[in-house]
Amino acid sequence: MTFDAHTHHLPEKADSAIFSCCMYDSPLPDNVVFLAAGIHPWHLSEEDFPMQMKWIENILADKRIVALGESGLDKLCNTPFELQIKAFHFITTLSEEEKLPVFIHCVKAFNEIIALKKSLKPKQSWIIHGFRGKKELAESLIRNGFILSFGEKYHPEALQSVPKGHYLLETDNSNADISFLYEKAAATRKIPCKILTKEIKETVDKLFFNRIKNSLFGKKS
């Protein structure tokens, strides 16, 4: 199965994608199987922040939730940076409490995100979604324990540099076909698509569908 880790479109095969949503996407579609819920820095203001926190806390009761986010830091959007940090802190704290991984939206704020991860030392996985950075940045993020999710556009050397178990594929907002992204990624990594699909399935299972084992593993470290 070609699992789509992060999409804003209704997936063709409902159980093969994580639908990423925020308060402004509600009411949520019924025919979605897996959800990630977050506070996106693009859609955030001082006024709606309390409401968004409430919405997230309520949606945690939804059994379809397998992750939080996307949330994060974006230096190119108009939302005050301090407020973005507050919202991100809220999400990462919940991620630890609820034992859910987080999808991170990061634009020109990688130093801040890495510094935050170093100081907070989260046990849950932090997944940089839509990663388009260069190989050096990919390597630095991997050294710091991040998972990278690649979409339609990326530097091939970056995807080549990521060890198996540390990457995902996603369509995000694009109309790209997820199967095509799997084939392209397999060609980039110079491995058969079948192997790549198996590698990603193992990563997906570990990150989103094996939470008890994950938390036990986290406790050991």
In the bound state with Zn ion, the residue whose beta carbon lies nearer, of 74 and 172, is: 172
Smallest gap, in angstroms, from Cβ of residue 173 to Zn ion?
6
Could you tell me the end-to-end alpha-carbon distance of the chain, in angstroms, rounded to an integer? 32
In the bound state with Zn ion, the residue whose beta carbon lies nearer, of 4 and 172, is: 172
In the bound state with Zn ion, the residue whose beta carbon lies nearer, of 152 and 199, is: 152
HEC assignment per residue over the chain: CCCEEEECCCCCCHHHEEEEECHHHCCCCCCCCEEEECCCHHHCCCCCHHHHHHHHHHHCCCCCEEEEEEEEEECCCCCCHHHHHHHHHHHHHHHHHHCCCEEEEEECCHHHHHHHHHHHCCCCCEEECCCCCCHHHHHHHHHCCCEEEECCCCCHHHHHHCCCCCEEECCECCCCCHHHHHHHHHHHHCCCHHHHHHHHHHHHHHHHCCHHHHHHHHHHC
Binding residues for Zn ion, per CB under 5 A?
172
Smallest gap, in angstroms, from Cβ of residue 218 to Zn ion?
26
In the bound state with Zn ion, the residue whose beta carbon lies nearer, of 172 and 199, is: 172
Residue nearest to Zn ion (CB): 172
Smallest gap, in angstroms, from Cβ of residue 192 to Zn ion?
29
Smallest gap, in angstroms, from Cβ of residue 103 to Zn ion?
8
In the bound state with Zn ion, the residue whose beta carbon lies nearer, of 130 and 199, is: 130
Smallest gap, in angstroms, from Cβ of residue 220 to Zn ion?
32
Smallest gap, in angstroms, from Cβ of residue 6 to Zn ion?
6
In the bound state with Zn ion, the residue whose beta carbon lies nearer, of 90 and 103, is: 103
